[in-house]
Amino acid sequence: MKKILLVITLVISSLFSEANAQKQIVFEGVTIPRTMKFENKTLQLNGAGSRSKMWVEVYIQALYLSQLSQDPKEIINDNSEMSIRIEITSALVSSGKLTRAMNAGFEKSAGDKFEALKPKMELLKSFLSDEITKGDVFELTYNPIDKSVWVIKNRELKGKVEGIEFKKVFFGIWLGDKPVDEDLKNSLLGI
């Protein structure tokens, strides 16, 4: 009887483990959900990768889309829900370092539109100005209803930056023709 109960327990445990494994993946020690909810919509994990600086992994990033895609231009120009999820993996990351890096990537992505969009980037930086610690999770999600990028830190809305042009340049930081990291771009695209 004990053996039968043990076998039943193991079978049930493995079923729950398989179901849980399908809901998330572990990437370089960070658990990444396969889906995320945003305003009653389910976004799917398109790809994930790590960002390193000077041989130190600073964050794990994931891209969530309404419909999976490997076409960066299509993603950048799409007017549907999408999200960049960033989980900080290094204590070396500070608010200043993150916003400077994002600003540099934004400037590269914006090209000649940078000056016009600079006030929106400054607004985004103000939403990221709180102290950052290892394990913090940022969700930077585009909402086509109000045409804005929602800035969420550890499940708390910090603010919104309006404009589809801002959204295009913002997602272009990682997916544009001059991404901050080509390997990360390919990882986010699932290539």
- Res. 55 pLDDT band, cuts 50 70 90: low
141, two tokens: 């999600």
- Res. 98 pLDDT band, cuts 50 70 90: confident
Q: Which residue has the tokens 């699932």?
A: 190
What are the Cα distances from residue 141, in Å, to 100, 137, 145?
20, 13, 12
Q: What is the pLDDT of residue 28?
A: 73
Q: What is the pLDDT of residue 54?
A: 56
Q: What is the pLDDT of residue 30?
A: 79
- Res. 160 pLDDT band, cuts 50 70 90: very high
Residues 26 and 31: their CA atoms lie apart, in Å, by 4
Q: What is the pLDDT of residue 1?
A: 42
Q: What is the pLDDT of residue 53?
A: 64
pLDDT above 50: residue 18: no
Q: What is the pLDDT of residue 56?
A: 54
- H-type alpha helices, the chain: 2-23, 72-77, 95-110, 114-127, 164-175, 182-188
Q: What is the pLDDT of residue 153?
A: 96
pLDDT above 90: residue 156: yes
Residues above pLDDT 70, as percent of the chain? 84
Average pLDDT, the chain: 84
Give 160's contacts (C-beta < 8 A, 6+ positions apart).
143, 146, 148, 149, 150, 151
Choosing among 2.40.37.10, 3.40.50.300, 3.50.70.10, 3.40.190.10, the CATH entry for 24-188 is: 3.50.70.10
Which range of 8-12, 74-78, 94-98, 106-110 scores highest in mean pLDDT? It is: 74-78
Residues above pLDDT 90, as percent of the chain? 62
**Mean pLDDT, rounded, for 82-86:** 95
